[in-house]
Amino acid sequence: MRKFSFLLLFATLFIASSCDDDTPKPEPAGDIQITFKGNYDGETFYTQKAYDYTDDMPVRFSAFNFFVANISLLEQEDATEETELIDIDFIDLGFDETQTAEAEAGVTVSAMKVPAGTYRGLKVGFGVPADLNRTNPVDYGSGDVLSKTSHYWSAWNSYIFSKIEGVADVDGDGQFETSEGEGLTLHMGTDATYTERILFPSSPIVVDEDGSINLTLNIDLKTLFYMPINEYDVNNDELLDIETFNGTHTDSELLIAKQLMRNFSEATALD
């Protein structure tokens, strides 16, 4: 009991002191949810569905996932004032055609409270920011998003920021054969590939006190594959030649990985 009353005293003192005039009153707050939706060429994206990558080469993807980080609301377009929403989270858009409801709904990351007000922009990072990328999965408890050893690559000393996996029917025989080397394993990572995008909705984001709003980000997987034509040895108009570049381990492939991550910026649109 002794200890308890001592604590109580402390608590009262603390409350008393926090009632000082110069400490801000608790801000009125509304809820914000952020939803990530996967598309392929403008349509809802499904794993295991055959897409025409190019006219003569269908691709069936089996994984599309990525880390998002430093998500915040911006009060002004110049991004001086940021209200942080999400530190880091992992988004897995790998839904197949038996999961249409999930695929169409997208992945919603938890709701958080933000001060009521009018916001002009939304900042989203793709990947794991450098400070967190200094750590590795062993540093985290099993429930943490950063504890995934599936998304850490020791050779890079980096998390794998995003995985795009699938099989392309390269030889055009109607079969998707990993056994023939048709697999596509695009893993992106390392600090240099971390990408941030600021999105400005056509009308400002208004958060009411006790109100609740949802912001939906559409990510188009196909857009990720467009490469600037001069910088890279690609021959398929502007789409990455996935027959040649089907992995991301060698140095030249790492350049591709970097561009794929940068393209998250272009591939992302606010509903």
Partner 1 sequence: MNNKNLFACLLLSLGVWTGCKEVFSSQDSRLSQIAYAPEPYPIQIPEGLPQFEPPADNPLTVAGVALGKKLFHDPILSADSTQSCASCHLSSLGFTDGKAFSKGIDGVEGRRSAMSLINVAFYNTGLFWDGRVKTLEDQALVPVEDPVELHHRWEDLEKQLRRHPEYPGLFRQAFGIERIAEIDKYLAAKAIAQFERTLISGDTKFDQVMRGEEKFTDDEAVGYDIFFDFTDKHPDAECGHCHNAPLFTTQEYENNGITAAQSFEDYSDPGLGGVNGKKLDLGKFRIPSLRNIALTAPYMHDGRFKTLEEVIEHYDAGGEYGPNVSPVLRPLKLNKTQKRQLIAFLHTLTDRTFVSDLETQNN
The residues binding partner 1 (CB under 8 A) are 47-48, 62, 96, 98, 137-138, 140-142, 147-150, 152-155, 165-167, 175, 177-181, 183-185, 187, 247, 249-251
3-state SS, 70-85, equals EEEEECCCCCCCEEEE
Cα–Cα nearest to 96, from 64, 120, 137:
64
Of the two residues 60 and 262, which places its CB atom closer to partner 1 in the complex?
Answer: 60
Closest distance between partner 1 and the C-beta of residue 63, in Å? 8
Of the two residues 180 and 210, which places its CB atom closer to partner 1 in the complex?
Answer: 180
Distances in whole angstroms, Cα of residue 269 to Cα of each of 42, 104, 124, 216, 254: 11, 16, 11, 8, 26
CA distance 61 to 45: 9
Of the two residues 73 and 240, which places its CB atom closer to partner 1 in the complex?
Answer: 240
Structure tokens at 31: 């809820």
Of the two residues 77 and 144, which places its CB atom closer to partner 1 in the complex?
Answer: 144
Closest distance between partner 1 and the C-beta of residue 241, in Å? 17
Structure tokens at 271: 């509903």
Closest distance between partner 1 and the C-beta of residue 166, in Å? 6
Cα–Cα nearest to 146, from 123, 127, 163:
127
CA distance 184 to 200: 34
CB 202 within 8 A of CB 121: no
Question: What's 148's DSSP letter?
Answer: -
Closest distance between partner 1 and the C-beta of residue 68, in Å? 20
Of the two residues 149 and 235, which places its CB atom closer to partner 1 in the complex?
Answer: 149
Closest distance between partner 1 and the C-beta of residue 240, in Å? 16
Cα–Cα nearest to 207, from 48, 10, 30:
30
Closest distance between partner 1 and the C-beta of residue 255, in Å? 14
Chain position carrying tokens 């390269």? 170
Of the two residues 167 and 261, which places its CB atom closer to partner 1 in the complex?
Answer: 167
